[in-house]
Chains A and B, each alone.
Chain A
């Protein structure tokens, strides 16, 4: 158990809908990362937050957004869902260690768009 929690584990929804995925980082970790894992695209970095501020952006669609709250938990919002958004969404967290941090991953949320 990495100490990173994600809810829900599974989510089934319809095209055009909006969903929110939640992540609680390990105790003390200030950074939160979101990834999308699909069969065709592999593991893709979406976005990173550090202590409430957006730090880095990857291949995140405009229909997707995220935020990190004062208690450091993070939410990933996916809207106008399409069939192709079906994937595993992972959250990871890290704390700064010199010279590079290590990301610890949560168990993921499996999103199915019908």
Chain B
């Protein structure tokens, strides 16, 4: 079975500082990995995905994620945080099989202070 762990319920960072939201996964085979963001009272918005190739994936709103196969991690990063980045962030994994579905982590609340 596939699973995702987001070890931090909340991450606090000051505006302008770099941010990292952690994610580790477990899946058979090479994973497909995703990050989504959820703003209050909104649906999930797709940020980026890793399929194969370059371990650094660039996505929307200046976010990027680094895939590390040996550590089974896919951490979300941004060089300079904005207050408007404050939201709930979800990591998700999908196995590379035909009818596999997405499994989400429990989410990490990112709070960026002015």
Residues of A within 8 A of B (CB): 2, 4, 33, 42-43, 45, 48, 55-56, 58, 90, 92, 99-100, 102-108
Are B45 and A42 touching (Cβ within 8 A)?
A: no
Are A45 and B46 touching (Cβ within 8 A)?
A: no
Are A99 and B51 touching (Cβ within 8 A)?
A: yes
**Minimum CB distance partner of B46 in chain A:** A102
Instruction: Take A2-B45, A100-B94, A108-B43 as given contacts and tell me if A42 and B107 are in contact as well, using a CB distance cutoff of 8 Å.
Output: yes
Q: CA of A2 to CA of B44 in the docked complex: distance in angstroms?
A: 9
Instruction: Take A45-B103, A48-B101 as given contacts and tell me if A100 and B43 are in contact as well, using a CB distance cutoff of 8 Å.
Output: no
Question: Which residue of B42, B51, B105 contacts A100 across the interface (Cβ within 8 Å)?
Answer: B51
Are A105 and B45 touching (Cβ within 8 A)?
A: yes
Question: Which residue of A2, A4, A42, A55 contacts B106 across the interface (Cβ within 8 Å)?
Answer: A42
Residues on A with C-beta less than 8 A from B103 are 45
Against A, the Cβ 8 Å flags (1 = close, 0 = not) of B43-77 are 11110010110000000000000000000000000
**Minimum CB distance partner of B99 in chain A:** A56
**Count of chain B residues near A, Cβ 8 A:** 22
Are B104 and A103 touching (Cβ within 8 A)?
A: no
Chain A min CB distance to B102 (Å): 6
Against A, the Cβ 8 Å flags (1 = close, 0 = not) of B16-48 are 000000000000000010101000001111100
Residues on A with C-beta less than 8 A from B105 are 42
Are A105 and B101 touching (Cβ within 8 A)?
A: no
Chain A min CB distance to B15 (Å): 27
Q: CA of A104 to CA of B60 in the docked complex: distance in angstroms?
A: 14
Chain A min CB distance to B23 (Å): 14
Question: Which residue of A55, A99, A102 contacts B34 across the interface (Cβ within 8 Å)?
Answer: A102
Q: List 8 A-B contacts (CB under 8 A).
A: A42-B105, A48-B101, A90-B44, A100-B51, A100-B96, A102-B46, A103-B46, A107-B43
